[in-house]
Amino acid sequence: MNPSPVHALADAAPTPFWLDDPDRPDARPALVGDETCDLLVVGGGYSGLWTALIAKERDPERDVVLIEGAEIGWAASGRNGGFCAASLTHGLGNGMARWPGELIKLEELGIQNLDAIGEAVARYDIDCAFERTGEIDIATEPHQIAELKEAAEDAAGLGLDRHTFLDEDELRAQVDSPTFRAGLWDRDGVAMLNPARLAWGLKKACLGLGVRIYERTRATALASEGTGMAVRTPYGRVFARHVALGTNAFPSLVRRVRPYIVPVYDHALMTEPLTDEQLAAIGWKNRQGLADSNNHFHYFRITADNRILWGGYDIVYRYRGGVRAEYDHHPATYEKLARHFFRCFPQLEGLRFSHTWGGAIDTCSRFSAFFGTAHAGRVAYAAGYTGLGVGATRFGAEVMLDLLSGERTERTELEMVRSKPLPFPPEPLRWAGIGITQWSMTRADNHGGRRNLWLKAMDKVGLGFDS
């Protein structure tokens, strides 16, 4: 093995690059005592922040409180890859398989949602390096070329004109790697951004509209209280007419939701800034987000200061699905990612990594968010974004507020919103099933994409596992 990948990791800081920022805002004080409000939002990631912000935009008089167990944006919202996708369905293929009759509407709503995110970034002057450069799905194996051509035809059949198929020469004129064979460029459906700065900007916007935010305030219990709800915290309680839950990978306060979610661990590396010569060696002038087409895939993008974020591939599931800080780091995955990086970009030999990190994301068996209510409609939840929450959580916030209002809307009438994914089985079947699925996905990647009987059976019943 070439020693350069391990050497390149030697001085990397084991912390999310985005959160390692001198402008990181101080945490707000914790809640001590009791509070009352019209709407309580639980969770200070994108899901909760968008819900609080949109609630105040819809009704400036609404009294909104948001509580966060740690700090705003510290979890998946602050340490993801910074891909903000329009897709609400985890890609066209998944959407066509599950909601073919409403896919065009879902695509329209997804683009509207991405537009609205860009408008909010501008309106609230959020400094998060928002760049709507699109994303290229990349074929690195021969069978994937045909799959990308078919996806381009499917998109054209739906009237989506933002997708462009790139042959090998066209792709390598965009970004140059000897591993690239073809690509499908979604020119307008994905933006790149600094995820932590988006979260901090949404926090500032919420505060400016009068949302009361309490950090280091973990919700420990949820119960009915008269005509409203009561949420207990370590040092107090919040009494609210309605509650919106944006806890995602963490155990839901509505226990019946828990079987639908599996927390999985995703990991990423960040390089030091590239020199002008290194940039010239790989091209990448249009700064698109990139992802390869394997089952175990890599995602990678270039930052505002010309670093490369390289993440994905391994999907690490812990027995019983715990979410713990000690699970965040996985050195074997970091070394594997580093080897893969230099295989993709051998012209960057000698580049070093500045940061390594990982953490839990929420996945569900249909790979895209699901929604619901509890306690006679006084509590709403959205979860299961499976890696696309940077964009889709804003849509989920709109859905939760629609559900709490009790009104029928274009969103609440969607089959996607009215249906649920299949729940994951209990342990030890869950652990065994995920293990078999992971092995089968690796086997498919190594055998021309051919899916074995296990994966075909999972496809038939609508069960899946992804990150």
Identify the CATH number of the domain in which residue 55 sits. 3.50.50.60
Same structural domain, 256 and 196 = yes
Under the banding of pLDDT at 50, 70 and 90, the label for residue 465 is low
In the predicted model, is pLDDT for residue 1 greater than 50? no
Same structural domain, 440 and 416 = no
In the predicted model, is pLDDT for residue 311 greater than 60? yes
Helices (H) and strands (E) in the chain, counts: 14, 18
Alpha carbons 135 and 194: distance in angstroms, whole number: 16
pLDDT digits (tens, 9 = 90+) for 327-359: 999 999 999 999 999 999 999 999 999 999 999
Question: Taking the model in full, what pTM does it have?
Answer: 0.95
Question: How confident is the model at residue 466, as a pLDDT?
Answer: 62
Give the total number of structural domains in the chain. Answer: 2
Alpha carbons 14 and 266: distance in angstroms, whole number: 14
Closest CA to 298 of 12, 450, 92, 83: 83
In the predicted model, is pLDDT for residue 4 greater than 80? no
Same structural domain, 418 and 453 = no
Please state, in angstroms and as integers, the Cα–Cα distance from residue 307 to each residue in 197, 212, 264, 336, following that order. Answer: 17, 36, 26, 19
pLDDT digits (tens, 9 = 90+) for 72-120: 999 999 999 999 999 999 999 999 999 999 999 999 999 999 999 999 9
**Residue 138 within any structural domain of the chain:** no
Question: How confident is the model at residue 161, as a pLDDT?
Answer: 86
pLDDT digits (tens, 9 = 90+) for 199-254: 999 999 999 999 999 999 999 999 999 999 999 999 999 999 999 999 999 999 99
pLDDT digits (tens, 9 = 90+) for 419-436: 999 999 999 988 888 888
How many Cβ atoms sit within 10 Å of the Cβ of residue 419? 12
Peptide bond into 14 cis (omega under 30): no
**Residue 213 within any structural domain of the chain:** yes
DSSP 421: P
Same structural domain, 4 and 84 = yes
Same structural domain, 89 and 50 = yes
Q: Name 110's Cβ contacts closer than 8 Å, sequence gap at least 6.
A: 85, 86, 87, 88, 89, 189, 391, 392, 395
In the predicted model, is pLDDT for residue 275 greater than 80? yes
Pairing of strands 236-245, 379-383: parallel
Alpha carbons 319 and 259: distance in angstroms, whole number: 14
What are φ and ψ of residue 275, in 5° steps?
-75, 170
Same structural domain, 410 and 434 = no
**Residue 355 within any structural domain of the chain:** no
Q: Please, are residues 41 and 219 in contact by the beta-carbon 8 Å criterion?
A: no
Alpha carbons 467 and 268: distance in angstroms, whole number: 13
Please state, in angstroms and as integers, the Cα–Cα distance from residue 350 to each residue in 127, 268, 304, 347, 396, following that order. Answer: 32, 19, 21, 9, 43
Buried b (16+ CB within 10 A) or exposed e, 111-149: bebbebbeebbeeeebebbbbbbbbbbbbbbeebbebbe
Boundaries of domain holding 450: 428-461
Same structural domain, 403 and 455 = no
> Looking at residues 437-456, what average pLDDT do you find?
84
**Residue 368 within any structural domain of the chain:** yes
**Residue 234 within any structural domain of the chain:** yes
Same structural domain, 207 and 117 = yes
**Residue 176 within any structural domain of the chain:** no
Same structural domain, 63 and 125 = yes
**Residue 151 within any structural domain of the chain:** no
> Looking at residues 130-136, what average pLDDT do you find?
97
Same structural domain, 106 and 21 = yes
Under the banding of pLDDT at 50, 70 and 90, the label for residue 47 is very high
> Looking at residues 319-323, what average pLDDT do you find?
83
Same structural domain, 446 and 379 = no
Closest CA to 413 of 104, 105, 113, 114: 105
Same structural domain, 432 and 414 = no
**Residue 279 within any structural domain of the chain:** no
